[in-house]
């Protein structure tokens, strides 16, 4: 299977696929909008953040520090995509 490219669309697709198969199994993909609050609404709890971080590190070969996993970088799909882009731009 071809992995999507590491541009914004590719990152978005990978993040969505992870969320829909991890904490949102059974959800209609259309409900997962790019600005949906994930952390502040309780959709993702602390263990979900650990799994998300592990997924992003493995998928994009990046290293994420503990202080970078706060709400500012992980509360929405948009925020996660921007964060991964900034890590890749290094």
Partner 1 sequence: MGETLVANLDDAIATHPDRVCVIDVDGAESTYRELDLMANGVAAALGKRGVGRGDRVGICRRKSAGTVAALLGVLRTGAAYVPVDTGSPSDRNRRIFEDCGVVAVLLDEADPASVPPNAAEIVGDPPATGVRPSAPAIHPEDLAYVLYTSGSTGHPKGVCLEHRNATSFVDWCVRTFDASCEDRCSSHAPFHFDLSILDLWMPLSIGGSVVLIDESTARDPRSLPALIAERRVTNWYSVPSILALMTSHGDLESHDHSSLRTVCFAGEVFPLSDLRRLRATWSGPDFWNLYGPTETNVCTAYRVPDGAGLDGAEPLPIGRACDHCEVRIVDDAGARLGSGEVGRIVCRGGPVMRGYWGLDPDRTAAFIEIEGHRWYDTGDLGAFDSKSRVHFHGRRDRMVKRHGYRIELGEIEAGLDRADFLVESAVMAESTPVGVVIHAAVRPVSGTRPSIIGLRTHCGKVLPGYMIPDRFHVVDGLPRTATGKVDLPRLRSEVILDS
- Residue ranges binding partner 1 (CB under 8 A): 23-28, 31-32, 36, 41-43, 45-47, 50, 54, 65-66, 69
Choice between 3 and 22, CB closer to partner 1? 22
Nearer to partner 1, 5 or 29 (CB): 29
Distance CA 66, CA 54 (A): 11
Q: Which is nearer to partner 1, 3 or 37 (CB)?
A: 37
Distance of CA 89 to CAs 7, 19, 59, 62, 78, Å? 11, 23, 15, 10, 16
């Amino acid at each position: 299977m071809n992995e999507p490219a590491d541009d914004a669309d590719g990152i978005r697709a990978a993040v969505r696929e992870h969320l829909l198969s991890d904490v949102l199994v059974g959800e209609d993909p259309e409900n997962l909008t790019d600005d949906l609050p994930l952390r502040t609404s309780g959709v993702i709890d602390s263990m979900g953040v650990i799994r998300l971080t592990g997924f992003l590190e493995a998928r994009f070969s990046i290293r994420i520090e503990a202080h970078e996993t706060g709400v500012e970088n992980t509360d929405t799909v948009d925020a996660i995509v921007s964060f991964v882009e900034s890590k890749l731009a290094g």
